[in-house]
Structure formats: C-alpha cells, structure tokens
Structure 1
Amino acid sequence: MGEGSSLSVESVLSAIDALYMNPDTSIKEQASKWLCEFQKSVYAWQISDQLLYMNRDLNSCYFGAQTIRKKIQCHFTELPGESHEGLKNSLLQHVRELRENTSLPIANQLCLAVADLFCHMVQWKDGIKDIVSKLSEAEVSCSYLIDILKFIPEEMNSSTLRLGMNRRHALMSQFEGSKQFVLEFLSHRAKSEQMVILAKVYNCLASWWDNTGIMVEHDVPIDPLLNTAFAILRNPYTTPESTFDAASQWVLALLYQCKQLSNSNSELLRWLQENIYSLVSVVQECSNSVASALGSIQQQEQLELYKDRCTCLAHIFSSLARTLRPPLVDQPTSPGSGGLGDLRTMECILVVLEIPPPLGSRELASITFHALHSLADDAIRHRSMSAAVSVNQGPLESSVNNSNASTGVARPVAALIPYFTRVVVALTSYCPSNTSDLESTDELRDFREDVHDLMQDILGLVGAEAIFVELYNYVQKLQMLAMSENAQASAYDVLRESEACLFMLTTVAKRLSPRDPEEHISNLISKLVLPGLTGPCPPPLQEVGCMLYMELAHWAACHPQLRRQIVNQLIEIIEKPAGVESQSLQPGQKLAVGAALSALGSLCAVYRATPTSTPNGDVSIPSPCNSDSLRLALIDEHWQDLVNRVAYNLPRLAWVPIHDATHFFAGIGRGLMCSVGTGGGGVEFDPRASRQAFPMRVAQICSVSLECLSKLMDGNVPIEGSDTLSDPRVWLDYLAALFRTFNCLLRRLGNPSSSQWDTRERNAVDRTTSEMVLSAQNCLAECLQLVREVIWPVVTRVLTHYASRMRPMEHVCRLIRFIVRCFSVHLRDLLPELAEKIVLSYTTGGQHSSFLYLTSVLVDEFGEQLDCRVGLVNVYES
C-alpha cells in the first residue's frame, strides 16, 4: 500500500473494482492484500465513511460498512476522543438512510457498528434511549433499530470486542436502567401485523434474556408479548419460519431462566406450563395435515414446513421437561392436576416420539433424549434415596407415608414408569433398518448408539425384565400377525419385521437373569432368531442377531443345547465370506462378520461348568475326581471349530474389523484362563484335563499369528496401510489380546484346593492334591517351553526386522510386557537375550519411548532377582 498522501476514495474504489470485477486472479490477490492493509491504516476511518455517503454500488457500500465496523471493533483506540461524537452521529445517519431493499449484509454491518460503538463509547450516556429516540421516527429505520437493540447485548459478551470487566459492569447498569424502556418499545412494536417485525422483536427479546443477565420474572409482559408469542406458535400454518423460530427461541430463553431460578412458586413458569401443554394439539394437527396430504403434489412442501415447526415445538417440550424435572421426580401429580409435577409434561415428550411417519423422524425424536436422560437419572437417584430413608424410618412414619398414596398424589418415580415404558416402544419404531445397506446408513447407526445409551438409564428405572416382557410380547404379536396374514410366513419374514425390536432387546439382554425362569429368552431364540438367521439372510439382520447373542452370553452358558446351535450359526456366518474380496461383499456383511466374531468372543469368555441332573431331578454334586458329571463348556466342546474354522480363516478375511477379531481372541483367552482353575460359574470341577490341554491350545490359537508374522518377514512384505494383513501390528495385537488375559495364569495354577467342597469330598480332595499340584507344574512347564521355543523366536525377529518402524515397535513391546507379566520370574533365562535385543533395537532402529516403558516392567518383575540386576543395569546404561 502506498503512502497516506496517495490514499484516496478513488484508489480504494479502484482496488474494490479490481477485487470483484477483474477476471485476472493475480490482480484479485493483489487487490485483496492492498485492501486488507488499507483497513489497518488510520485513513480507513474517514474513507470508509465517505464510501457509505457516496453509495456508489453494493460492493463499495459493503466494504465501507465492513471496514468501519472492523475499525470500531478492533482499533477503536486509534480514534481520538473528540471524534467519537462525530462518528456516532455519522453512523446513526447512515442507519436512518437505510431502505427496505437495502442489502442485508450492509444493514447488518452498520447495525453491528452502532452496537460496537455503544459498547466502547464511555461518553455515550443513556445510549439506548438516545438510539431509540433517533431511529424510531421512521418505520424503516425503526426496523433496523430493533436489530441494533438485539446486537448490543450480544456484542457486549463478544470476545472480539475486548471489553474490560469495569466496562461490562457499566453497560449492565445501563441495561438495568433501560430495560423497562426497551420492553415498552418492543411491546408497542409487537402489536404490528408485519411478521418480519415480530420476528425481529422476539429475536431481540431472546437476546436480552440470554445475554444481559439482568432480566427477571417480573420483566415479562404477558400482554402483548407472551400472548402474541403463543398465538404465533399455535398457528404454524401461515406463520413464516423466521417468526415462528424467533417466538420459540424467546420461550426457550424464558424456560432456561425459570430453570436457573429454581422457583417452585414462579407464576411465569405456571403460565408457560399451561400454555405449552396447549401446543400438543398443534403437533397432532401438523401430523394429521401431513398424513392427509400423502400422495398429493403439496406433500413434500407441507412435510418440510411442518417438520421445521415441530422441531421448534419439540425443543420447547424438551426444555419444559428439563425445567420441571425436580417436581416431576419428587412430586409427580396426575395429568390435569395443574401442579408443576403434572404428568402432562411426559405426554408432551411422548407426542413427539409417537408422531407417525413421514413427519415423525429420528432427528425429531433425538431432541427429547437429553430430557429423558436427565429425568431417568434423577428418578433412579430419588428412588435410591427414598429406599435409604425408608430403611431408617419407624412404623409410624411408614404408615403416614402409605396414607399419602390414597390422597390422589401419584407415588414418586412409580408414576413415571408407564411413560418410560411407552418411550421404549416409541423408540423401537425408529430403529428398523429400511435398507439392506446398513453400513451406509450412518444416521441409523448413530441413532441406535444414542438409543442404546438412553436405554441404560431407562433400564435402571423400569427394570430389564419389564422391558424385555414388553418387547417379547410385541414380537409375539408380530409373529401372530404374520401367520394370520400369510400362512406361508417364515421365521425370516417375522425376523425382518421385528429386527428393530431385536435391536432394542440387545440393550437390555445383559441385565436379564441367565436362568430365564419363564423361558421367554429360550422361546425367542429357538423359535425366531435361530430359524430366522438360518439360510439366506441380509447381513444387517445377521448383525443384530449376533449382537443379541453377544449380550446373552451368560444366558447361553446356562443353556448348552441352544448354545451349540448359536455357536454353529456364528461360525457359519464367519466362514461363508472367507476368501471373498472386500468389494465383492454384500452390503453390511463386513459388520455382520465382525459382530459374529465379537459374539463368539463373549460366549467363549463365559466358562461355566454346569452339573447334570440325576434321574430323579436332583442336581448331582460334582466331584473333583468325576469331571464326567459336568457338561462341557464352550471352549471344551467347540475348540477345534474355533481354531480350524475361525482362527485359521482370519488370514482369508483381510477386511474383518480388527477390534472385533481382537475381542474374539480376548474372549478365547478368558475362557482358557477359567478352564485351568478349579471352578466355573460357581461350580467346582477338576481342571486337570484342561491344564493338560492348555499349552497345546495356546500353541494352536497363537499359530496363525506367528505364521503370518513369519511370512511377512520372510518375504520382506511392505506394510500397505494400517490394519491390513501386511501390517504386523494386527498379528501382534491378536497375540497381545491373548497374553493380556493370561496375567493371572500363575495365580490360577497355584490354587488347587477349595473351601467349597463339603466333608464327603474332602478325602477325595486330599488324595488328589498332589496330582493337582503336579498338573499345575506340568502346565506351566509346557507353557514356558512353548514361549521359549515357538513364540519367543518370532518376537525377537520382529524386534530386529521392524526396528526402524515406530508403530510395530510399540506393539511388539506391548506384547512382550504382557508375556513378562504372565510368567514373571519364570522367564529369567530369557532376560539376557531380551536385554540384548532391546539395546540393539533402541540404539540402531530408533530411540522409541516404548522401550523405556518395557524396561521399567522388566525391573518391576526381575529387579529383586540378584542374578538379573547386572543385565537390567546394562539396559538402563545403554
């Protein structure tokens, strides 16, 4: 930019023309840089003002308005104090000259400039009244005046304006003195029939309530402001979107203030409560209007219109529920009672959730989740506190409390349960997968995750059994309906219809009793899920079924007959796409296989040895010498299938989700850990056979990862992306998942006796104690041999082969840490070689911090061994 003497209006106009009209990109860039430098100069004050008075064209006027606002906002101290008055008068004159057809960006910049000047200009006493008096004469400038009044509180809280605390307090004092004047002015303007003016009025009111911090309940003029606002909300058909949204924003601001004040005697809150209840009929009328327009030309237009209106009302209902949360939880009253705990508030939430499609949507339903979360959470906490109090109450207090139940007041918390049960049913209607490509429906997947989180709170209030029965009955109705309409309806057809219900069942399944006394779960699995997933079935349905199996892992352990069918079905889902390229998979098949792997991992992790029944129906008492009386656990019964049909197939499933496969190996590890102890599922059993098989099983399940690592290093295969078969981290993580679960191996092997056996079994235990100890010693010895001869050679090769790659080094160090934690001092003979490899990899490949962590673990495990200290010191010195 040239010297100040060369700056003129003409040069600035030339630069503006070059920026907006010259087709040459390089000239545009030069003009942009020049104008940016100009805006920083002190000459910009006068020239931008001249540009506005010239009013040559839109580009120059916008640049002038933007520049003067930017100067006030960021460089106000440049202007001498004697120039402030002139700037104020000039800006107000510019606003008075605005017309209805003036470009909105120009008008907004000028209004913001006036608001920023008011916030900065200390000499401007009674500024709000001054602005109103000078701009309220003409109808057009009065419209922009409302914008200025809206911007002033917002700009006061803007971090860009850089106001000090003293100035903010002075402004708040001005607000306090002017608020009645502003409210009277806005009340007068609210009588206008122009919807644009009403929208500006309510946006201004919301701004004052949200940003000033001085508005109180008595400042709310019910007539005309509140009455007009609810008249707008009750008439969504002809009200413009901007006006409807502005009115709803002010109501939300009022509800938020009522919530902050927590005043149970608030007349404003009671007035808002009753009038918000009347908006329920508005939502229902919107739904009916959309339904009646189905198939017509106006359908899509009406749908968009009413969707926007219902979104605003849903926010109001949700905010009302959060505001009335304490009385709803502490003192709920019957619908229509008129108290703050009136259960019509729950009806407001439910009317949003129960809107039928196409108006009802996941987006609309999600608006209520925050309120439902907080209500359920508070209700659970209230019930816990009430239970604690009742324990300490005497008979007299208890009888008094019981007598209150007959006075017409709903019993706390229990009164909310029917509403939350309806919430569960309503949520089910939003969870179906309407497409076979569930992978691409991110909206549905995100919504289901939110529903799952919400259900955890609802479960604590309603109870898993009650929700399960409700959903189970719904599935049965679907079955009966399908069979009545079509005698040829298959389990798959019913499963497809009830897929959303099955997903909801996955959210409660983990909390159900595994004993299943009513056999609801058994009937559901045997008559619907297992038959429905057999044969050709869309992968999204398979995924939901696998998720249900995963959550029912403890139930499956108690029902071995059905568990066998479940495991076989899961293995078939995994086996079928083995060797298929990723691009050739069916939509959603990748996620279905991942869910099947996770389900297998969860099922394997529950190692339950269950006693068989005697012919007369009694449960036989297992003896440590009689393991034949126990039903086989999953690990024992399906081991060969888990290894040969699942683990050995993983190299042919290059696209499988890594976290799901890792979960599978972790589940295998937990099951193996349980098998070498002396009890599973509360039943004592003889672990000698499992201990004998343990080393071989570890070798088999590790072999696939070890072989793949060896092939990668033998062929010097380059790493082609993360989480691919060429990435050694994948196979290292599978091994780490196993050994991480083996951290209690020594403890499990060192407890051959139990205090749970009765006197009849004691003699047998004493006779076999030596054999139990011997089995533990043999198991440990064979495991150590496996580590030394099979696992350790591959791990040391990884240390040297990938020494220069940071990520593989992190993961191999992690694996070594788990192996060391597992066997502790029993691996002392490997310490010298391990120390040598660590030093070599650390010094030649890269000084990765993961080696430091690994060394600290070695010191922790071997530091007290005198013969190991020299090697550990050498590692630290290197």
Structure 2
Amino acid sequence: MSLSQSTSIVLAALQALYHDPDAAAKKKANEWLQEFQHSVEAWQTCHDLLTSPETSLEGRLFSAQTLRAKIVYDLSQLPRIQLVPLRDSILTSLPALTSPSAPQGSRAVVLQLCLALADLAIQMPEWQDPARQMIENYGKDPGTVGVLLGFLKSLVEEAGNGKIPLNEDGKDHLANLMSTSAKQVLDVLVMYIQAPGLTPQIQSTIFDTLRSWVVGGELPAFEVATTPLFPATFEALASDQLFDSAVDVLCDLINETQEIQDNVEVIQQIIPRLIALGPQLDIHQEDGDRIRGYCRIFCEAGECYKDLIAKHPSDLLPLVQAISKCAAYPDLDIVPITFQFWYQLATTLGRQPTDPALQPILDIYSELQKIIIRHLSFPSDDEGQTSQEKEEFRYFRHRMGDTLKDCCHLLGAPTCLRVSLNLVLSALSSPSPQWQEIEAPLFSMRSMGAEVDPDDDEVLPHIMELLPRLPDHPRIRYAAILVLSRYTQWIDRHPQNLEFQLQYISSGFQMPEDEVQAAAAQAMKFMCQDCGSHLVPFLPQLHDFVTQMRDRLDQADLLEVCEAIGHVIERMEPEQAAGILQQFCQPLLARVQVVAMTTESVGKPELTKAADALEQIDAFLNVVGTLTPLPQSCLSTPTAVYAVLDALLARHAQIYYISERTGYVLRRGLTFFPTTALEPVLQPMLERMTLAFEQSGYPSYVWIVGKSAAKFANAARGSSPHALGVAGLLGGALERVTLQVGKMLTSKTAVEIPDVIEDYLHCFLSYLNFLPPLTLSSPILHLSLSHTLSALTCPSTPIISVALDVLSILSENQHEPQLPPIFRQYGKALLGLCLTGLLQDFPEGSTNAVQGVVNAVCAASENAEVESWATEAVGGVAGWMLPLSDKEVFLRDLHEYLLQGKTGDKLKNAIVQMLRASRRAKERGRQARKSLGG
C-alpha cells in the first residue's frame, strides 16, 4: 500500500468517525483506527499527515495522539537509530502549530506532541539534556514559550506514567533526567515570573507547570519558597485572571509541606501569609468563587497542619476561625470543603480534651454545631424546589450529620445534645415557631446518635419527655419518629416509657404523608430489633394494629412492620413463638385461600391482595428463619400450607407476581421446616413447579426446583428405596426444566430471557454441588451444557459468573464418562465463547475458569481440532482489542502446550499473557479516546 493510499484511508476513517451520521459506520471507523494505531506503518503515515499542510486539524490531532501512543507502547518497533529522526520530525512540526496563522484547535495537537516528546525523552538516553535543548529552542520567543512549558509540564507528569516500559537502566536514566531537569525548570520559571511584559496567560501556564513539578516531587516546597515564585503566587490571588491558578498552586505547595518536621522553615513563611488572607473572606463575601478558593487554601492548610494547631492553638487560632467563617457561608457548595478539616482536627485533639489552651478551639466547635444546624434547616420555600434540588439537599444534610458527630467527639455527646435540645425548647417558647426551627435540631439529634452512650441519663430523658410537646406538623413528626428509631438501643435500657413511644410511632401510620408512614415503619423495625424482649407483652396490641392497618398502609411499610414483629417473635421460646407466628400468618394465608378456592374469575385487586399477603408471610419468615427445636405441632403445617399454595398455582400459575410471591414463601418454607416434615409435599411440589414452568416459562419455578435439590440432597443419597425415590423425583424435575428451557431457546435467544437463564443456571449449579453423581450421569447433561454456553452470550456479569462456576465444576469432573464426548462435541463453541469472553466482557477473576475449560477441551479433542478452533476464536477478536502479534504468541504457546503432552503451566501462562496483552491494548484505546476528548 502506498503512502498516499494509507493516508487517504486514515482520513476517510476519520471523516466517518467525526461526521458520518451512521452509528455503525462510526463504530467500524473507530475500530479500524484503533487497530491501525498498532501497526508499524502508522509511524510513517502519521508523520506524513502531521507534516502535510493539507491535513485537517482532525488528521493532525489523530496523528499526534497516535505518535504519542506508539512512543509509549510501540517504541520497540523502531530501530534505535531511527529515534533521533523521530524526535527531530516532531520538533520540526511544532513551529507551524504555534505560529499566529495556526488553525484554531492547534493547541490540542501541540499538547499531544509535547507528551510524545516527553515520553520519548524518558526512553531515549541518546537525547542528552532534553530540557536544556527545549529551553534553548523555544524559551526565547514569547510565541513558543507555551510549547516549552507544555513540554516541561509533560516531562514530569509522564515520569509517573506506569505504561512506559522501563528496565533498570531506563529507571536510572529517568531518575537522572528528573534530577538534572528540575534545576533548569525552576530557573526558567523564576526567569519568566520576573520577566517584563508577562501576560496573565503565560503566568497561568507557569503556575500549571510549577504545580506539576511540585506534585511530582521533583521541586521541594522549601526550594520554591526561596524563589520569587513563592510571593508571586500569593500576589496572584489579587488577580481575577490568575486567582484559580494561584489557589491550585498554593494548595499543592501546602500539601507538600505536610511532613512538618521536614518543612518547618517553609511553614513559618506560609502561615503568616495565610493568616493575612483572613480579611479577604469579608472583603469578597459576595463573591462565591473567591470564597471557595480561599476556603480551599485554608482547609488544605488546616488538614496539613492539624498537629501544629493542637500544639500551638493560640498561634493558629486565626486559621481555624477562617475555616469556621467558610463553614458559615450560605453557599452549600462551599460548606462541605471544610468537613474533612473538622473531622481530622477533632480526631487529632481526641475526645473532650481538658487543656485550657484548647478552649478557644472547643468554642469554635460549639459554634460550628449551631452553624451546621442552621444549614440543616429546610428553606421556607422548599416546595418551590425541583425534585433534584430536594434530593441534593437531603444528601447534603446527611453529610453535615457527620460533622455533628465530630462536634460530639470533641465536646461530648451530652453537651451537643443539650445544645440541640435547647434550640428546640427555645423555638417552642416563641409565640409562633416555624417548623424548620424545630425540625433541624431534631435532625441533628438523630445524626449524633452514633456518638451517644446508650446508658446516658443526662440529656436523653429530657429529649424523650419533649416528644409529647412537639407540634403535630408532618415534618416534625417525621423527624421525631426518626429520633426514636435512632435511640432504640437507649430505649432498650430505659423501657419505662416504651408504651408511649410505641404508640407515638404507631400514630405516625395514621398521618396521610407517605414519608411519615415510612419513618414509622423504619422506627417500628428498629424498636422491635433492639427492644424485642420488652415488646413481647405488647404483641396483642401489635396484632390488633396490624389487623387494623393492613388495608390502609402502603405494602412497603407493612412489610417493614411484619419484619419488625418478626424480631419480637424470634426472641420467644419456640413453642410460644410458633403459636404467635401462626396467629399473625394464619389470617394472611386465609386471604390467599379465598382466592385459591374461588372457581369463578378473580379480579386483579383480589389477586394483588393475595400476592401481598404472601409477601407479608415471607417477611415474617425471613426474620424468624426457623425455630429450634421446631415444636411438634408444626410438623403438619407444610402439608396444610402447601395445599393452599398448590390450589393457588393450579388456577393462577401464569400470573407473574403470583409465581414470584409463591416462590418466596416456598423458599422460606424449605428453610423453616426440617426435611422429614417436608417430604410429604416434595412430589406434588416438584410436579407443580415443573408443570407451572412448562405452562408459563416463569423462572421462580425453576428456582424452587434448585432449592429443593439442596434441601433434599441428603435424603436422596444412598441405595435404599426411599433414597432412590427422592433422587428419581429430583432428577426428573431437573430433566423437565432443562427440556423446557431448550424449547424456549428454539424461539428466543438467551439475551431475551435472561431471568430464566440465570435461575436455570443456579438450579443446575445447585444440582452439581449437592447431587453430583445424579447430575453428571443425567441423560440431559449435554443439553445443560448447551444452555450454559447460551448464558455466556448474555451481557450480564451475574449470569456470566454463575455460568463460569458451572463450567468450572464440569471441567474439574472432566473424567466422568459423559463429559469427554460432551467437551469435544461443544469444543469449538466452548473455546470461542470462553476465549473471546475473557478478552471482552467476562468479569474479573475469570481466568482460572477459562483455563479449566480450555484444558478440558484440549484433553477431550484432537490437537488439530483444538488449534483450528482456537485460531478461529482469537482471529475473530478485533485487532484493537488483541493485536495480531499477541494472537500469534498465544497460538504458538497453545501449539507447544499440545505438543508437550497437554501438561505443565504453558497453557495457564499463555492465557494470562494473552489477557494482559488485551488489557494493555484496551487501556491504550481508552487513553487515546481520553486524549482526544472522546
């Protein structure tokens, strides 16, 4: 292919990528360009495109980016003798891109070329003193200073680029390059910062370059502090154009001085200048952007110098006061910048320090609590907020709650709780308090709960006594109920007001607001979890409450209530618990039975109520789990309950939500009851599950078949007639669901029925784990493997993961009589799906599973077959995902493994190396898209 042909094809692909409206054409062009970037011819083609005056900006940018990527990843493609011409060609292309007539957007090309030169310098010891050469070539003309600074910035940033391959000699060269360049960089930056006619644009670039060298660890802060750059950075804060750059530099300089003992002299210069900035917060109080910048500087210093604050609190008090002012600023985007400082300083000072010198700091934290509570207050016009604004504010409130915990840590929880309590009392004493004045301190009480001792008798009793006096406003009731939910551990140790508190929570269900009912459900759950032993006497009232509220509460809230009561039941003795559980669940089962026994048409409302009742039964059983020992009176329950469920499914198995809810209860039943109590229902249950699946295709039925295999595995082992009978039932169920999945896959792809595929895989995996002899000898084993291969086509990590688990078990059992023919029968598909999947979208940690599959296929098949299948598999992988050279390496290693008798680590190493090569190629593509803004 001639050069003109190559450049034309690249330009045509770029035209399609950026301008073709057809998404498929864009995708094809993108993949071709990524593959082209790996080729040897890309070096010359990109040079031609870069230096041709006719090349579009898109072509130049692509060429510059490609050269940069090839210098990082593919420099070994070039003989060393060609590195100097490569460098010179890049240098030659720069002047046209920096001239006044350069097209708009050329700066992006220059950036890529600066990166390319930096990456080349790092790998090219032959290029002696690149920083000095660039300074001499580009440092004298104001028009090219940007190129120089761009290169110097790139040089130190690319020094940390782990993608650049360096051996020990290369690492030594890099260390020498950085140390020799650092002094030159500092000198040139000092020269420019003092140059007459310095423009804000160049000064900003100076700051950016300085930051990179400071952050890169090559310019210590103490060296910078001895130069005019140090005062110039503080002075630049007065400039609107330079303010943001100056803030960034100062934050990085301060961060580099956090090793206090090594930077005492620099810190002694920084702190007075910081304190002198304090008045700027008042001067610019109307300028949120300025306040944000100063806040960043102060907080960076506070976090780095927290130990100094602890040792010299009076000297650094102005810094803490400045951060406090930032925390009080009304812009809620600025306030969170201070949060990390408050946390770190509180941790440094410890719990309730007694040093009198720290009292001014403690006073600031005391005021901080009030500041945070003011920020917690909902705006008076919050109904005018958008839903997104409301959600953001709720999230912000929870973040502020963490800072309240920092106040508690330092001041003590009783002190902070008392502040919040007094704020509520103060609001209640006013003639017409706003609800926000009460709700915010209530929220703060809830936020500080983690810091409060459950044995506290100092403040919490007063808070609990306060509840009856609160206005009956929904927002206040919501906050108060959540306060109760936060302090249920305290209530457990102080149960004297439990009856009122339970009533207070229950009354929340009477309010029409959904969020109040949700809070009440949550509080009820925590109350029952933490105070369960105290609530046993209240079970009759709870039963009456549930009975009254069942048709009035939202199902989600009702489920929380059921779970809550379940926590009380699980604290009881088994015999007593069984009776109470039946008392709560029997009315629910009766609802289901009415629908199950109705022979005429049943409407959706009645079906929904039956499904809800099943879900509520599930909620009870989910918490209780089982009763040990199970009372004798419960042994006949499975037969009675299953009769109702079977009757329901006989009429309504093809209603999806009925199938799901019934599956939940069956699963809980398999956990709750022992095998002996369940055996009478095994045969009808498996018959119903398989029949219902054949009729509906709903996966919940397959799910229960798998759970049954796990439950009855022990009963199916052995050669007794009873064991053989159980094994026959389980084996027959697996065969029927496997055949049905096969029928479904004749008309639909696995991608179209992912829920069925996933539950089938879990079912099959359960059989493999609990009943391996039965499963591995099954006549439908080959079909189960086929379904597993179909699952690998689903773009779902959970499905792929369980499919690989199945394949791993089959690979480990590859010597079982059936498996070698099956592995050979499906060998081509196995290699194709597993090798391409590993390179494309398999989850992390799939290597061992794939290795096991490939090994099993190799063991079962002829060498020529394996090589043919593998060649086709990796050959179908795009070159940008796995370059041709790496495909050849893998196939060569596979060939050697087969010739060596299919033993040793050669196969494992080949797969690992191929995967690493693919990751490098994909990372290269990501970096390419990132550098091009894609």
Deviation track 1:330-358 (CA, whole Å, cap 9, x = no partner) reads x433322xxxxx34443343222111x2x
Structure 1 residue 159, shift from structure 2 partner: 4.2
Q: 1:286 aligns with which of 284, 289, 292?
A: 284
Task: Classify the secondary structure of the residue corresponding to 2:108.
Answer: helix
Counterpart code for 1:699? Q
Alignment-derived partner of residue 496 in structure 1:
436
Query: Following superposition of structure 1 onto structure 2, how do residues 846-865 of structure 1 map, counting pairs within 5 Å?
Result: none
Match of 2:175 among 162, 169, 172: 172
Shift of residue 144, structure 1, vs aligned partner: 1.9
Distance in 2, Cα, partners of 1:111 & 1:871 = 76
- When residues 733 and 343 of structure 1 are mapped into structure 2, their CA distance, relative to the original with a 3 A threshold, is farther
8 Å Cα contact 2:716/2:724 also seen in 1: no
Q: How far 1:174 moved relative to its partner?
A: 1.0
CA-atom RMSD in angstroms: 4.6
Structure 2 SS opposite 1:498:
helix
Corresponding residue to 1:317 among 282, 298, 313: 298
CA contact 2:420–2:445 (8 Å) conserved in 1: yes
1:602 maps to which of 513, 516, 526? 526
Q: Distance in 1 between matches of 2:134 and 2:90?
A: 11
> Is the contact made by 2:68 and 2:119 (CA closer than 8 Å) also made in structure 1?
yes
Structure 1 match to 2:342:
372
What residue in structure 2 maps to residue 551 of structure 1?
A: 486
Partner of 1:758: none
Distance 2:212 2:724 in 1: 72
CA contact (8 A) 1:65 1:109 kept: yes
- Return the match for 1:349 from 323, 333, 337: 323
Relative to structure 1, the CA distance from residue 169 to residue 269 in structure 2 (aligned partners, 3 Å threshold; closer, same or farther) is farther
- 1:819 deviation in Å? 2.1
CA offset at residue 11 of structure 1?
A: 6.6
Aligned mate of 2:366, from 413, 421, 442: 421
How far apart are 1:37 and its partner, in Å?
A: 6.0
SS of 1:239's equivalent in the other structure is coil
Post-superposition CA distance 1:377-421 (Å, at most 9, x none): 4444x88xx9xxxxxxxxxxxxxxx9xx6xxx736xx77543333
User: Does 1:574 pair with 2:574?
Assistant: no
Q: Distance in 1 between matches of 2:517 and 2:224?
A: 59
SS in 2 for 1:158: coil
| Aligned equivalents of 2:338, 2:721: Cα separation in 1 | 65
Does the C-alpha gap of structure 1 residues 727 and 640 become closer, same or farther in structure 2, counting only changes over 3 Å?
A: closer
C-alpha distance in 1 between matches for 2:261 and 2:644: 70
Return the match for 2:679 from 829, 832, 839: 832
SS across alignment from 1:465:
helix
Residues 1:265 and 1:202: Cα distance change in structure 2 (over 3 Å): closer
Deviation at 1:673, TM superposition (A): 4.5
Distance between the aligned counterparts of 2:703 and 2:570, measured in 1?
31
- Does the CA contact (< 8 Å) of 2:68 and 2:112 recur in 1? yes
Once residues 44 and 828 of structure 1 are traced to their aligned partners in structure 2, the CA distance between those partners, rounded to angstroms, is: 69
Task: Name the structure 2 match of 1:668.
Answer: 565
Is 1:816 the counterpart of 2:669? The answer is yes
2:523 maps to a residue whose letter is: A
Q: Which amino acid aligns with 1:332?
A: K
Q: Deviations over 1:215-245 (max 9, x none)?
A: 4344323431111111223x2xx422xx333
Distance, in Å, in 2 between the alignment partners of 1:183 and 1:785 is 84
Letter in 2 for 1:667: A
Which secondary structure state, in structure 1, belongs to the residue aligned with residue 313 of structure 2? coil
Q: What does residue range 304-703 of structure 1 map to in structure 2 within 5 Å?
A: 306-328=287-309, 331-336=310-315, 342-355=316-329, 357=330, 360-361=331-332, 363-380=333-350, 410=357, 416-434=361-379, 435-436=382-383, 440=388, 441-480=390-429, 482-483=430-431, 489=432, 493-509=433-449, 511=452, 519-528=461-470, 531-533=471-473, 537=474, 540-553=475-488, 567-568=502-503, 570-575=505-510, 577=512, 589-605=513-529, 607=531, 635-636=538-539, 638-650=541-553, 653-654=554-555, 656=556, 661-674=558-571, 697-703=580-586
Q: Separation in 2 of the partners of 1:714 and 1:226?
A: 86
CA distance in 2, matches of 1:851, 1:370: 52
- Structure 1 gap segments, 5+ residues each: 291-305, 337-341, 387-401, 484-488, 578-588, 611-631, 678-690, 747-779, 821-826
What is the CA-CA distance between 1:111 and the residue it aligns to? 2.0
Distance 1:515 1:24, change over 3 A: closer
Letter in 1 for 2:589: L
User: How much has 1:365 moved relative to structure 2?
Assistant: 1.9
Instruction: Choose which of 207, 210, 219 in structure 1 pairs with 2:212.
Output: 207
The 8 Å contact of residues 322 and 375 in structure 1, kept in 2 or not, is answered as yes
Query: 1:39 deviation in Å?
Result: 4.7
Q: Which residue of 1 aligns with 2:235?
A: 231
Match of 1:270 in 2: 268
Aligned to 1:219: 223
> Residue 263 of structure 1 aligns to a residue in which SS?
helix
Task: Describe how 1:101-116 pairs up with structure 2 within 5 A.
Answer: 102-103=104-105, 104-116=107-119
CA contact (8 A) 1:516 1:555 kept: no
Preserved CA contact (<8 Å) 2:372 2:404: no
Aligned residues of 2:667 and 2:707 also touching (Cα < 8 A): no
CA distance in 1, matches of 2:254, 2:660: 52
Post-superposition shift, 1:711? 7.1
Q: Distance in 2 between matches of 1:718 and 1:158?
A: 66
Supply the AA of the counterpart residue of 2:345: L
When normalised by structure 2's length, the TM-score is 0.65
Q: Would the aligned equivalents of 2:254 and 2:300 in 1 still touch at CA under 8 Å?
A: yes
Tell me if structure 2 keeps the 8 A contact 1:61–1:106: yes
Question: How far apart in 1 are the matches of 2:592 and 2:416?
Answer: 48
Contact 1:156 1:168 in 2 (8 A): no
AA in 2 matched with 1:199:
S
Task: Write the deviation string for residues 536-594 of structure 1: whole angstroms up to 9, x where unpaired.
Answer: x3xx54432321232243566788897656545544543455xxxxxxxxxxx433321
Contact 1:719 1:727 in 2 (8 A): no
| TM-superposed deviation, 1:125 | 1.6
Q: Could you list the per-position Cα deviations for residues 28-69 of structure 1 after superposition, in whole angstroms to 9, with x for gaps in the alignment?
A: 777767665655554443443344444345344434433433
| Paired amino acid for 1:520 | H
Q: Check whether the contact 1:73–1:116 (CA below 8 A) recurs between aligned residues.
A: yes
Aligned to 1:766: none
| Change over 3 Å in CA distance of 1:556–1:17 after alignment to 2 | closer
- Note the alpha carbon deviations across 1:286-323, whole angstroms, 9 max, x for none: 22xx1xxxxxxxxxxxxxxx333333333333332332
**Amino acid in structure 2 at the alignment position of 1:433:** F
Which position in structure 1 is the counterpart of 2:867? none
Task: Give the counterpart letter for 2:85 in structure 1.
Answer: G
Aligned length: 703
Query: What does the per-residue CA deviation read over 1:98-157, in whole Å, with 9 as the maximum and x for residues that have no partner?
Result: 135652322222222222222232311211211112111211111221111111122232
SS in structure 2 of the partner of residue 446 of structure 1:
helix
Counterpart residue type for residue 521 of structure 1: I
Name the residue aligned to 1:253.
Answer: 252
Which has the higher mean CA deviation after the structures are superposed, 147-156 or 415-424? 415-424
Q: Deviations over 1:608-654 (max 9, x none)?
A: 899xxxxxxxxxxxxxxxxxxxxx9772573344222334544xx25
* Alpha-carbon distance in 1 for matches of 2:278, 2:59: 50
Shift of 1:25: 7.8
Query: Contact conserved, 1:69 with 1:112, CA < 8 A, in 2?
Result: yes
User: What is the identity percentage for the equivalent residue pairs of Structure 1 and Structure 2?
Assistant: 20
Q: CA deviation at 1:705?
A: 4.8
